[in-house]
A and B are shown apart, each in its own frame.
Chain A
Amino acid sequence: MLRQVTRFMTCCAVVAGMVGFAGASRAQEVKSATLDAIKKRGQLVCGVDTGIPGFAFQDSAGKWQGLDVAYCQAIATAILGDPAKVKYVGTTSKVRFSVLQSGEIDVLIRDSTHTLTRNTELGLAYGGLNFFTGEAFMVKKALNVAHAKELNGATICVLTGTTLELNIADFGRANNIKINTLLFEKPEEAFAAAEAGRCDGYTDDGGSVAAARSAMKNPKDWIILPELISREFLGAYTRQGDERWTILVNWVHYAMLEAEVLGITKANVEKIKGETKDPETRSFLGLEANFGKQLGVDNAWAYNIVKAVGNYGENYDTYFGPLELPRGWNNLYTKGGLQYPLPWR
């Protein structure tokens, strides 16, 4: 009997200990729990797409590539000084926000649209907009469709759990036409169904549609319709309740843009750092001012980012150039686009 009692007491003690630990860890939470955790872990856990050319995909060697992946690398560089210290977690459109909310990943950079509901009901915070686009359609050339409004009665493949589902329903309603949808969880299966002819076309954000076309057996058989039926502002998401972390993610984005504004590239950053007398450039590179310290990272963080990953434009050209997707809205504000870094003050 004594043994049973002892065993039972041990159980109670373990449970009580766990409860106490959970309480203590919550009490210790300082300004940025996420940032502290990353520094301690020595690795950033970054949620990306499971595989879409342009944003995030694995090359033939299994290495992650893409604009969103470059952002993961930039954040890792800012905090840990090394773009390789990232663990990538491929997430489907359906589970992406749950994975972020549950704390499995530190940040979600997965060509995800910023919307009101996601900021409120889903409890997600805004981590910068790295891609301005809209929902576009890709259809088989043989169908002789020139405009989205001619899609009455057509079946379109869509990814589930996206803003696209709602846009397409609203677009049909506004134009008094009926577009049938077929909902897929993964792009690969949606592409296969479109290729086989199960759907007349595929819809996604402009960038992803260009990527989808490049993934088709014969991309020339497909055309992208000129209309964008929605605004899709894609960017990084963080959890609410850790403002300093969200702020850092935002400023990594501005650092990528600021580098392009200042004309600093991966190739010339070393040279500019040695020669520059321009006060704005000097404070950007961490030679003056203490912007890095204010964000809780190394003062040369922006220099490290450009050195390791490059500026925004360089990455755009690398990943979207091959898809023949013009920069358009994603050009700098100085060149007629919408990308505008906040003042570096």
Chain B
Amino acid sequence: MVRRPSARAYVGQWVFLLVVLAVGGLLVSELADNLARRNMHFGFGFLFAQAGFDIPFHLISWSIFDTYGRALLVSLLNTILVSAMGVVAATLLGLVVGVMRLSVNWLIRNIALAFIEFVRNTPQLVQIIFWYLAVLQTLPSPRQSIVIPGGLLLNIRGLYVPDVVMRADGSLLTWLACFILAATPFVWRLRLRGRRLGAKALVLPVIAAGLLAAGIEQVEFPSLTGFNITGGTQVPPELVALWAGLSIYAAAFIAEIVRSAIEAVPSGQAEAARSLGLRSGQVLFLIVLPQAVRMMVPQLTSQYLNLIKSTTLGAAVAYPEIFQIFAGTVMNQAGKEVETIVIVMAIFLTINLLFSAFMNWYNRHVALVER
């Protein structure tokens, strides 16, 4: 019937695809049946319904009159915030520890080794809860807040930073300042009479800062009223604990990646640099690390993706990220299990695909161009 091997393989693949689709379709229809049997309906209309609950930490405004859809946005921003903070901190810490691991100093080398082995071999959830309880146990109650110069207050409820209240008519100034800041790198590269402007472009951020300062109406300092601190912006201990737990855990893995990548750079490179008279810091930052980065990027990507996914552990320490708020509270209050989980999975998939697309772009950017 089918003689040529290629055609045979073709038919096989198509039939396999059809079977996969059929099984998928069967699962979906089974889901619809099961929902119908319990008088439940599949749909995303609930996103427009009023939520009616409070979200303890939000970057954009939130009230109990807002919709489930906005709750999704608020919790998504919280997830992105802690992910971004985690990626940056894990990279810096991992770089430091990875370099320490290769130090000629016995103590430094072994401190790094002990750190890596300890962190890599204990569960991440336990670490996050440990940091949370450690943070909570050491800080004083709101009434005995530690006063930090500059109007900052630190207590068990978090770190309170003075709030800057902008003038109502100051938003134009703010936008102008943002625009100027964004333009700075381009101006830096601009050529005037054949010469780059370079460091002269740094005058622009100063102007931007001036514009921002002109838009300030008043600075609101945090102070104790009743039970809690009011005024100012709160950095909650939940965020700090989750951040610490995520970035320290990822840093231990990143340190090993950094170490192996540095060791993979041919030793002749460092030797040649030294014989040219470069100092050891210059050897590391100008010769070894730029070559090591090429080898690190693919592995770093998977660590970053892990870190982003692990933000869902924040639910254990009351950090209102997307899994806790949307796949927790909203799922229960709206009674939309399947829909909320589908949305959360789709969001994580999108974030991670975008992130890895960026990392792939970066990888191509730093990769050795071979001719």
Contacts and interface: CB of A to CB of B under 8 A. Distances in A.
A169 B237 CA distance: 23
Interface in B313-358: 315-318, 320, 324-325, 328-329, 331-337
- Select the residue from B37, B54, B56, B331 with max chain A CB neighbours within 10 A: B54
Contacts of B365: none
B20 to A, nearest CB: 10
A189 B335 contact: no
B332 A97 contact: yes
Interface stretch (A160-168, A256-264, A274-282): A160-168
Interface of B is mostly: helix
A165 B329 contact: yes
A154 B315 CA distance: 21
B320 A162 contact: no
A117 B332 CA distance: 10
Contact of B333 (A19, A161, A241): A161
A8 B14 CA distance: 12
Nearest to B327: A94
Contact of A241 (B37, B52, B238, B317): B37
Contacts of A98: 331, 337
Interface stretch (A81-89, A118-126, A214-222): A118-126
B318 A15 contact: no
A180 B54 contact: yes
Nearest to A29: B37
A172 B331 CA distance: 23
Nearest to B8: A1
B61 interface: no
B152 interface: no
B54 A169 contact: yes
Contact of B331 (A22, A161, A184, A240): A161
Interface centre among A93, A172, A196 (most CB of B within 10 A): A196
B38 A239 contact: yes
A211 to B, nearest CB: 20
Contacts of A166: 52-53, 333
A162 B331 CA distance: 11
Interface size class on chain B is 35 or more
Given A123-B39, A153-B230, A166-B333, A180 B316 contact: no
B56 A180 contact: yes
A193 interface: yes
B287 interface: no
A11 interface: yes
A12 interface: yes
Nearest to A92: B328
Contact of A169 (B37, B53, B136, B137): B53
Contacts of A229: none
A88 to B, nearest CB: 22
A161 B40 contact: no
Nearest to A189: B316
B101 interface: no
A123 B38 contact: yes
Contacts of B336: 121
B227 A143 contact: yes
A122 B335 contact: yes
A160 B228 CA distance: 22
A192 B38 contact: no
Contacts of B22: 15
B225 A165 contact: no
Contacts of A183: 56, 318, 320, 324-325, 328-329
Q: Which 6 A-B pairs have the closest CB atoms?
A: A123-B38, A121-B335, A161-B332, A122-B335, A196-B136, A154-B227
Given A98-B337, A189-B318, 17 more contacts: A1-B2, A1-B8, A22-B26, A93-B332, A118-B335, A151-B227, A153-B226, A155-B227, A160-B315, A165-B333, A172-B54, A180-B54, A181-B56, A186-B316, A192-B133, A196-B137, A198-B157
Interface of A: 1, 4, 8, 11-12, 15, 19, 22, 93-94, 97-98, 101, 117-118, 120-124, 143, 151-155, 157, 160-162, 165-166, 168-170, 172-173, 179-186, 189-190, 192-193, 196-198, 200, 239-241
30 contacts: A15-B22, A93-B332, A97-B337, A121-B40, A122-B40, A123-B39, A123-B335, A143-B227, A153-B227, A154-B226, A154-B228, A155-B157, A160-B328, A161-B328, A161-B329, A161-B331, A169-B52, A169-B64, A170-B52, A172-B54, A181-B56, A183-B318, A183-B325, A184-B318, A185-B316, A189-B318, A192-B133, A196-B156, A197-B136, A240-B39
